Amino acid sequence: MQIVHYPHPALRWVSKPVREVNDEIRRIAGEMLELMYASKGIGLAANQVAMPLQLFVLNPKSDPNQKEGERVFINPRIIDRKGLVEEEEGCLSLPGIFAKLKRAERIKITATGLDGQPFEHEAEGLASRAIQHEVDHLQGILFTDKLNPLEKIRVIMKIREFEKNFRHGQRAGEIPANDAIAKSLQELEAAHC
């Protein structure tokens, strides 16, 4: 398992709900948490590891030794948003790109946990921002899509560099072609959704 970088097609794939929370889903979530910590992230969506599942992991402390902040959200849905705050944001699939973005200050989310049980969770500050960021990922939306025009201009050259490197990797055979990626995503959907 590895984090895919923009413009990998999985990042634009609208994830499907997980059909059943089973040992395979728990294994995937565990690997995602390990990868998130290794990458110094605070959240990671399944699309970012080329899995089209409505699942993301989160720990705003970004510390594997502080498990109390660790959460897994399966089939999440934000049901309430309050306030508005503009803060800097980044993404493990767009490393090195940071930009200011407005998001709700507080949110309430419903999801299913690794135990297969539904739960509600309220978050504010960094946790709220991270949850909104990851829920966007599951809809195929990147934080750069939501930037104001000035912020977009500021990061456009870095984004184009990611596109150039991705296409080079495909031509060199290091990254599969888009149709092969789409086939793989469809197979994963059939297995889990």
Pairing of strands 43-45, 55-58: antiparallel
| 3-class DSSP state of 92 | coil
The single residue listed with the structure tokens 């803060």 is 87
Backbone angles phi, psi at 76, to 5 degrees: -75, 155
Q: Which residues fall within 8 angstroms of residue 77, CB to CB, at 6 or more apart?
A: 109, 110, 111, 135
pLDDT > 90? residue 26: yes
Burial group, residue 176, by CB count within 10 angstroms (0-12, 13-18, 19+): middle
pLDDT in tens, 108-162: 999 999 999 999 999 999 999 999 999 999 999 999 999 999 899 999 999 999 9
pLDDT at 78: 97
Strands (E), 91-164: 99-103, 106-112, 118-124
Q: Among residues 70, 134, 161, 189, which one is catalytic?
A: 134
Is 24 part of the annotated catalytic residue set?
A: no
80 closest CA partner among 122, 112, 138, 130: 122
pLDDT at 192: 85
pLDDT in tens, 43-74: 999 999 999 999 999 999 888 888 888 999 99
- Distance, in Å, from the CA atom of 170 to the CA atom of 30, rounded to the nearest integer, reads 29
Map out the domains of the chain as residue ranges.
9-192
Q: Write down the mean pLDDT value for the chain.
A: 94
CATH architecture assigned to 9-192: Alpha-Beta Complex (3.90)
| Helical ranges in 69-148 per DSSP H | 125-138
pLDDT > 90? residue 193: no
